[in-house]
Amino acid sequence: MSGLPNELFAEILHRLPVKLLLQFRCVSKPWRSLIDSGFIKLHLDRSLESSTNLSLFLRHSSGLYSIDLGSPPLSVVEMNCPLRSYSGQITEVGSCHGLLCLCNNAGDVVIWNPSTRKHKFLPHSPVEVRQNFFVRVYGFGFDDEHDDYLLLRLVQFAVEPIESEVSIYSLKANTWRRLRGMPCFLVYPRKMGVFACGRLHWIMTRDLVLGSANLLVAFNFHTEDFEVVFLPNVIDNRLDMDVAVLGGCLCISISDNQMGVDVWIMKEYGLNGTWAKLFSISPSQVRGSLVFVRPLAYSQNGRQVLVQWGSQNLAWYDLETECIEMVDICGMPSFFEAEVCLRTLVSVDDYGCTKRENRNARDELLAERFNPTL
């Protein structure tokens, strides 16, 4: 880098993909020092602003597959997941700033950067044992006020009046703590929280009665409280709903077998009048069911939206022509759940966890699985 000022050199580097940057770290100590400094934040900010360095992660049973959306032709790469599966399945909790959060049915949770391959196992936090059947969901996101990555765990018990247990984990403090309960019921007990605009989002309802109105409920990291988000006034809130994030904006999909699917996007978070219909898909446009359509990412030119179609298909929806092009990639699993994740250099090591502590946490989890009496 002789002959170039450090500022100009950094400007060039933060436009490069993570794969090249990881290789450049090995060139020399000055290069490594520059890349490991505040440059990581600059590279992250540029990726968020330009919607570049995007990857799609497909989870099939206990397998995890990656598709680099910025490197056509698209190809599928099987990943070596750090989380063990004791029942043949893992779940994608969510992603934030290049960190992917995964869990299994045993309650083990890991935060992992697939690009750098560094990860952190979370300390075990037992759920209060009760007689009633319960559901457990998570939501993963970032608290910009405290520069901390947080994981919310919401446990609900099958009783009325509602009983719930809410806990939050701080990556910076590496600890769990309890919060007050949630007064609404999860409509979809297996849906993880969707992070957008500093909040986690779920579809909920106030009553466990068929045909009850759906609510879009958000957990605010700053106030550590749940709040109701206004839905578009023209929609029927008793139809099937799904919540997603697209280009950093909150989205909802409204599904009706007779009418099709409408996808709405909130242009400015928190203002009711900023909901706008992004696109609609009618039953005549496709073959098969339209029960589940989730927007994932914009194309590089912004004219198309990549959507997950049920649990078996991906498709590009053209916002100008309203045409649909199915995506067929060699090696793609037959059934999957999809999660968009940035490729970044953000590391869990920057938040107070040494390699020894990480190994100890992993060993404790394994000991609990194979020594249930402990």
Instruction: Read off the tokens for 195.
Output: 């992070």
Model pLDDT, residue 2: 56
Model pLDDT, residue 358: 43
Residue with tokens 């009048």: 273
Instruction: Read off the tokens for 215.
Output: 């609510």
Bridge partner list, 59? 64, 337
pLDDT tens track, the chain, 374 positions: 556 776 777 778 778 888 888 888 888 888 788 777 777 888 899 888 888 899 999 999 889 999 999 877 889 999 999 998 877 789 999 999 999 999 998 889 999 999 999 999 999 998 876 666 678 999 999 999 999 999 999 998 877 777 889 999 999 999 999 999 888 989 988 899 999 999 999 999 988 777 788 999 999 999 999 999 999 888 888 888 999 999 999 999 998 877 889 999 998 997 766 899 999 998 877 666 666 889 999 998 899 999 998 888 899 999 999 999 999 898 899 889 999 999 999 989 866 444 444 444 444 443 443 343 33
Model pLDDT, residue 374: 31
Cα–Cα distance between 169 and 93 in angstroms, integer?
14
Model pLDDT, residue 182: 87
Residue with tokens 């490594």: 32
Cα–Cα distance between 138 and 188 in angstroms, integer?
13
106 close to 96: Cβ distance less than 8 angstroms: no
Model pLDDT, residue 131: 61
**What number of CA atoms fall less than 13 Å from residue 144's CA on the CB side?**
9
Cα–Cα distance between 81 and 329 in angstroms, integer?
21
Cα–Cα distance between 215 and 245 in angstroms, integer?
17
- Rg of the chain in Å (alpha carbons): 21
Instruction: Read off the tokens for 200.
Output: 């986690």
224 close to 177: Cβ distance less than 8 angstroms: no
Model pLDDT, residue 254: 92
Cα–Cα distance between 127 and 135 in angstroms, integer?
11
Instruction: Read off the tokens for 166.
Output: 């809410």
Cα–Cα distance between 67 and 306 in angstroms, integer?
13
Bridge partner list, 317? 305, 324
Residue 9: which H helix or E strand, with range? helix 6-13
Model pLDDT, residue 347: 87
Q: How many residues does the chain have?
A: 374
340 close to 55: Cβ distance less than 8 angstroms: yes
Cα–Cα distances (Å) from 185 to 155, 182, 277, in that order, read 10, 8, 27
DSSP letters along 217-274, please?
EEEETTTTEEEEEPPPTTS-TTSEEEEEEETTEEEEEEEETTTEEEEEEESSTT-GGG
Pairing of strands 215-220, 225-229: antiparallel
Model pLDDT, residue 80: 92
Largest CA distance in the chain: 71
Secondary structure (3-state) at 301:
coil
Model pLDDT, residue 85: 80
Model pLDDT, residue 70: 82
